[in-house]
Amino acid sequence: MPLKPPKYDPRKGKARERHAINAAQRSEHSKALKCYVCNEDHKVIECPTLADSTVPERFNLVREARLCFSCLNKGHVTRDCRWKKKCEKNGCTRLHHQLLHEEPGTMSGISSVLDKGSILPVVRVCFRAPNGRTREGNVLIDSGAGTTVIRKDYARSLGLQGKREKIDLAVVGGERVEQPRSRKVTFSISALNGAEEHRIEDHEIEKTVLSVPRLDRPWLKSFAHLRDIDFSHKAGPIDLILGVQFSHLHAEDEVRQGRQFEPVGKRTKLGWFVIGSDSSQKTSKVCSLSFVQPVNLEKFYEFETLGIQAPQCHCPQIAMSPDDRRAIELIENSCKQQGGRYIIGLPWKKDKNLLPNNYSLAEKKLFSLERSLKRNDVKASLYNQVMNEYETNGWSRQLLQEEEEAKDKPSPDMASYIMIKIANENESQCPRAAVILKRDRYMDDLIHSKSTLEKAEKSKGEVYDVLATGSFKIREWFVSSSVQEMQAENVSSPEEENPDFKDNVIGENSECTTTKNVNLDGEEGIKTLGVTWNPQTDKFSFSVKEIKIETLTKRTLLSRISRLFDPLGLASVVTIKARVALQEIWKAKKYDWDDPLPEEILTLWYKLFRELESLNTITFPRCLRPDETCGPFELHVFADASATAYGAVAYLPGPPKKVPKLISSPRE
pTM higher than 0.75 for the full model? no
Q: What is the pLDDT of residues 71-108, one digit of tens each?
A: 888 888 888 888 777 887 777 778 888 888 776 533 33
How far apart are the C-alpha atoms of 117 and 207, rounded to whole Å?
23
For residues 461-476, average pLDDT: 83
Number of Cβ atoms within 10 Å of the Cβ of 124: 21
Give pLDDT, residue 499: 45
Give pLDDT, residue 318: 55
Torsional sign, CA 61, 64, 65, 69: positive
Q: Are residues 89 and 172 in the same domain?
A: no
User: Which pairing describes strands 176-191 and 134-141: parallel, antiparallel, or unpaired?
Assistant: unpaired
- 228 lies in some domain: yes
51 closest CA partner among 229, 194, 151, 183? 183
Q: Are residues 160 and 201 in the same domain?
A: yes
Q: Are residues 126 and 225 in the same domain?
A: yes
How far apart are the C-alpha atoms of 483 and 518, rounded to whole Å?
11
To the nearest whole percent, how much of the chain has pLDDT over 70? 69
How far apart are the C-alpha atoms of 400 and 391, rounded to whole Å?
15
Q: Is the pLDDT of residue 27 over 90?
A: no
Give pLDDT, residue 194: 74
176 closest CA partner among 185, 186, 166? 166
Counting every residue written for the chain, the total comes to: 668
Among 51-60, 187-196, 218-227, 508-517, which stretch is predicted with the lowest mean pLDDT?
Answer: 508-517
How far apart are the C-alpha atoms of 54 and 83, rounded to whole Å?
24
Picking from 277, 299, 326, the residue at the C-terminal end of a domain is 277
- 24 lies in some domain: no
How far apart are the C-alpha atoms of 207 and 209, rounded to whole Å?
6
Picking from 607, 623, 639, the residue at the C-terminal end of a domain is 623
For residues 340-366, average pLDDT: 80
Q: Is the pLDDT of residue 114 over 80?
A: no
Q: Are residues 556 and 454 in the same domain?
A: no
Q: Are residues 132 and 162 in the same domain?
A: yes
Beta carbons of 208 and 146 less than 8 angstroms apart: no
Burial zone of 271 (CB within 10 Å; 0-12 exposed, 13-18 middle, 19+ buried): buried
Beta carbons of 239 and 138 less than 8 angstroms apart: yes
Beta bridge partners of 150: 204, 240
To the nearest whole percent, how much of the chain has pLDDT over 90? 4
Q: What is the pLDDT of residues 115-127, one digit of tens each?
A: 546 788 888 899 9
* Overall number of domains in the chain: 4
Among 151-155, 400-404, 571-575, 605-609, which stretch is predicted with the lowest mean pLDDT?
Answer: 400-404
- 404 lies in some domain: no
How far apart are the C-alpha atoms of 67 and 77, rounded to whole Å?
7
How far apart are the C-alpha atoms of 189 and 183, rounded to whole Å?
18
How far apart are the C-alpha atoms of 334 and 311, rounded to whole Å?
36
Q: Return the SS3 of 650.
A: strand
For residues 139-163, average pLDDT: 84
470 closest CA partner among 346, 347, 336, 345? 336
Picking from 100, 127, 143, the residue at the C-terminal end of a domain is 100
* Nearby residues of 130 by Cβ (< 8 Å), 6 or more positions away: 160, 186, 187
Residue 61 — pLDDT band, cuts 50, 70, 90?
Answer: confident
Q: Are residues 167 and 264 in the same domain?
A: yes
Q: Are residues 70 and 141 in the same domain?
A: no
Q: Are residues 130 and 259 in the same domain?
A: yes
Give pLDDT, residue 252: 86
Of 77-86, 369-378, 508-517, the range with the highest mean pLDDT is 369-378
How far apart are the C-alpha atoms of 627 and 487, rounded to whole Å?
12
- 32 lies in some domain: no
- 223 lies in some domain: yes
- Core vs surface per residue 475-499: b (16+ CB within 10 A) or e: eebebbbbbeebbeebeeeeebeee
Beta carbons of 40 and 47 less than 8 angstroms apart: yes
Residue 382 — pLDDT band, cuts 50, 70, 90?
Answer: very high
Q: Which helix (H) or strand (E) holds 332?
A: helix 322-334
Give pLDDT, residue 367: 93
Residue 485 — pLDDT band, cuts 50, 70, 90?
Answer: low
Listing from the earlier edge strand, what are the strands of the sheet with 619-621?
526-528, 531-534, 539-541, 619-621
Beta carbons of 663 and 307 less than 8 angstroms apart: yes
Q: What is the pLDDT of residues 310-345, one digit of tens each?
A: 555 555 455 677 778 888 888 888 888 888 888 888
Position 103: which residue type?
E
303 compared with 324, residue with greater pLDDT: 324
Q: What is the pLDDT of residues 159-213, one digit of tens each?
A: 888 887 777 676 655 556 666 667 888 999 988 887 788 888 888 887 666 667 7
Residue 3 — pLDDT band, cuts 50, 70, 90?
Answer: very low
239 closest CA partner among 178, 172, 148, 164? 148
Backbone dihedral region of 276: left (phi > 0), alpha (psi from -120 to 50 degrees) or beta?
left
- 317 lies in some domain: no
Give pLDDT, residue 345: 82
How far apart are the C-alpha atoms of 55 and 98, rounded to whole Å?
10
Residue 363 — pLDDT band, cuts 50, 70, 90?
Answer: very high
Q: What is the pLDDT of residues 7-17, one digit of tens each?
A: 444 444 444 44
Backbone dihedral region of 404: left (phi > 0), alpha (psi from -120 to 50 degrees) or beta?
alpha
- 174 lies in some domain: yes
Q: Give the chain's mean pLDDT.
A: 73
Listing from the earlier edge strand, what are the strands of the sheet with 646-651?
636-641, 646-651, 661-667
Q: Are residues 536 and 617 in the same domain?
A: yes
Q: What is the CATH number of the domain that holds 161?
A: 2.40.70.10
Containing structural domain, residue 578 = 530-623
Give pLDDT, residue 491: 42
Phi, psi of 343 (to 5 degrees): -120, 130
For residues 512-536, average pLDDT: 49
Output the CA–CA distances (angstroms, integers) from residue 549 to 8, 160, 251, 545, 602, in the order listed.
63, 52, 56, 12, 11
- 338 lies in some domain: no
User: Which pairing describes strands 149-151 and 198-205: parallel, antiparallel, or unpaired?
Assistant: parallel
Q: Are residues 56 and 87 in the same domain?
A: yes
For residues 269-279, average pLDDT: 81
Q: Is the pLDDT of residue 24 over 90?
A: no
Q: Are residues 127 and 202 in the same domain?
A: yes
450 closest CA partner among 465, 467, 438, 463? 463
How far apart are the C-alpha atoms of 515 and 508, rounded to whole Å?
6
Q: Are residues 92 and 216 in the same domain?
A: no
Residue 36 — pLDDT band, cuts 50, 70, 90?
Answer: confident
481 closest CA partner among 517, 516, 527, 446? 517
Residue 29 — pLDDT band, cuts 50, 70, 90?
Answer: very low
